[in-house]
């Protein structure tokens, strides 16, 4: 009983943390309007907090994947999860791109805007170095050394190293078990450090929000409200209607219940405008939910590079916006070819503020160079649109993890119901709980003396 009350007190303290984040966001908005010059100077606070979170991403991904794969005896099982994940990501990205094109054609955003010389220069600056070939992208997945993936903060490089180490430990059998136990202890340490970093979230949220409001103000919003509001509505429809229906049909779960479970992560993303700031917590929460370690370890990091639904919607809607504003609307044939191109261009776009804008500029530079100058028109509201991009990307990856766990039968459905009902709260102090995950169950004597099975950690 005392243990349960101690856990309740710990959870209560974390509630104060997120109340402080909300207060910091409101204070940042107020300061941005009242003293824009001062607010802009606070931008390093937000940048510093996001960098602290990004510092932890590589260790979290490495530990999660190595523990997941190393504990699975059949390599084919891991390959099946990866193949299914990539196929799903490609399909949903295509659907998101198509939805962006349809809504863009209905709204006709960008009509009547004028392109100044200053705006042209901004667009050209965004395009510089923004595009890379498929070969460069693939070669970029290979790190310079085995440890450079951790120092350079590249998610896909860390994923590759973790896969190699995981399969190596898997092949070692019992000889690799001491290493796995050691990595398990390191994972607990990493999540504990992450939990400590979260206590400076209010400071980071205050600096990030104050800076963007101070930089942008309200002047740039009026003429660009159509595409901004249309983009937010499109993202909401994609998450709640398209992904929500898919989740309901496949798993029987309500998308609102899943998103409510991830409410603190959405608040963190909203205040930092970076879906990467919530990546480590998404891994921890999906494992706590009851999805197996291999599925979480492969689906979440891969999804952060290949399943960017919000970025996909943004790329097509913004492309149509730029073309309309430039007085050179895209024909149906050009829109289809642009969609195909953006399917490739959207892969590997990081979940960090500004990455979507750079990917847009790079894509137009390769596909329709004469439209690049118009990218400058969207710069004023890109920071506000990046919020919706990041939130949609995060929701898409959370839903994808549950779907793939269900398709591969690597999810504990009873545990999912318990967690979403609030009867198994997430441990905000350690971010990990021993023995969780779908395949890990422990026999427990039933009242009649027979052995029943109960999800570990329950």
Q: Does residue 166 have a pLDDT over 80?
A: yes
Section 377-401 average pLDDT: 80
SS3 string, the chain, reads CHHHHHHHHHHHHHHHHHHHHHHHHHHHHHHHHHCHHHHHCCHHHHHHHHHHHHHHHHHHHHHHHHHHHHCCCCHHHHHHHHHHHHHHHHHHHHHHHHHHHHHHHHHCCCCCCCCCHHHHHHHHHHHCCCCCCHHHHHHCCCCCCCCHHHHHCCHHHHHHHHHHHHHHHHHHHHHHHHHHHHHHHHHHHHHHHHHHHHHHHHHHHHHHHHHHHHHHCCHHHHCCHHHHHHHHHHHHHHHHHHHHHHHHHHHCCCHHHHHHHCHHHHHHHHHHCCHHHHHHHHHHHHHHHCECHHHHHHHHHHHHHHCCHHHHHHHHHHHHHHHHHCCCCCCHHHHHHHHHHHHHHCCCCCCCCCHHHHHHHHHHHHHCHHHHHHHHHHHHHHHHHHHHHHHHHHHHHHHHHHHHHHHCCCECHHHHHHHHCCCCCCCCCCCCCCCCCCCCEEEEECCCCCEEEEECCC
pLDDT, tens digit, 9 for 90 and up, residues 131-147: 555 677 677 778 888 88
pLDDT category at 359 given cuts 50, 70, 90 is: low
pLDDT at 256 over 90: yes
Please tell me the least confidently modeled range out of 104-108, 147-151, 430-434. 430-434
Q: What is the pLDDT of residues 198-252, one digit of tens each?
A: 788 888 888 877 877 776 665 545 556 777 788 888 899 999 999 999 999 999 9
**What is residue 86's predicted lDDT score, i.e. its pLDDT?**
83
Q: What does pTM read for this prediction?
A: 0.69
For residue 93, pLDDT beyond 80: yes
pLDDT value of position 432 = 63
Average pLDDT over residues 287-306: 84
């Amino acid at each position: 009983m005392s243990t349960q009350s101690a856990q309740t007190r710990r959870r209560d303290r974390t509630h104060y943390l997120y109340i402080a984040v909300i207060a910091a966001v409101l204070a940042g908005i107020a300061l941005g309007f009242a003293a824009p010059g001062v607010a802009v100077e606070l931008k390093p606070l937000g940048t510093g907090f996001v960098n602290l979170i990004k510092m932890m991403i590589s260790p979290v991904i490495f530990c999660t994947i190595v523990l997941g794969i190393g504990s699975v005896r059949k390599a084919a099982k891991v390959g099946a999860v990866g193949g299914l994940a990539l196929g799903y990501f490609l399909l949903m990205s295509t659907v998101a791109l198509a939805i962006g094109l349809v809504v863009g054609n209905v709204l006709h955003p960008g009509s009547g805007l004028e392109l100044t010389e200053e705006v042209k220069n901004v667009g050209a600056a965004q395009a510089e170095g923004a595009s890379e070939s498929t070969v460069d992208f693939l070669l970029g997945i290979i790190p310079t050394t085995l440890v450079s993936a951790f120092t350079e903060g590249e998610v896909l490089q860390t994923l590759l190293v973790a896969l190699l180490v995981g399969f190596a430990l898997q092949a070692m059998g019992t000889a690799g078990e001491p290493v796995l136990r050691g990595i398990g202890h390191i994972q607990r340490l990493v999540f504990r450090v992450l939990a400590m970093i979260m206590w400076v979230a209010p400071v980071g949220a205050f600096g990030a929000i104050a800076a963007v409001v101070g930089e942008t103000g309200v002047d740039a919003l009026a003429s660009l409200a159509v595409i901004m509001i249309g983009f937010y509505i499109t993202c909401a429809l994609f998450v709640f209607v398209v992904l929500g229906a898919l989740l309901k049909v496949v798993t029987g779960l309500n998308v609102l219940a899943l998103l409510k479970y991830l409410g603190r992560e959405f608040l963190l993303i909203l205040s930092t405008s970076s879906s990467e700031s919530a990546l480590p917590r998404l891994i921890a929460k999906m494992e706590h939910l009851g999805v197996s370690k291999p599925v979480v370890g492969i689906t979440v990091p891969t999804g952060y590079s290949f399943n960017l639904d919000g970025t996909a919607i943004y790329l097509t809607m913004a492309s149509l916006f730029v073309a309309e504003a430039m007085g050179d609307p895209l024909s149906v044939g050009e829109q289809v070819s642009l969609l195909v191109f953006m399917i490739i261009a959207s892969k590997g776009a990081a979940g960090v503020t500004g990455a979507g804008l750079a990917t847009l500029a790079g894509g137009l530079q390769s596909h329709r160079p004469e439209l690049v100058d118009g990218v400058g028109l969207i710069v004023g509201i890109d920071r506000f649109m990046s919020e919706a991009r990041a939130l949609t990307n995060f929701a898409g990856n959370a839903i994808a993890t549950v779907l793939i766990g269900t398709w591969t039968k690597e999810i504990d459905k009873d545990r999912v119901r318990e967690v979403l009902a609030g009867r198994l709260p997430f441990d905000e102090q350690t971010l990990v709980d021993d023995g969780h995950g779908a395949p890990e169950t422990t026999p427990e004597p039933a009242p009649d003396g027979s052995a029943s099975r109960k999800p570990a950690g329950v």
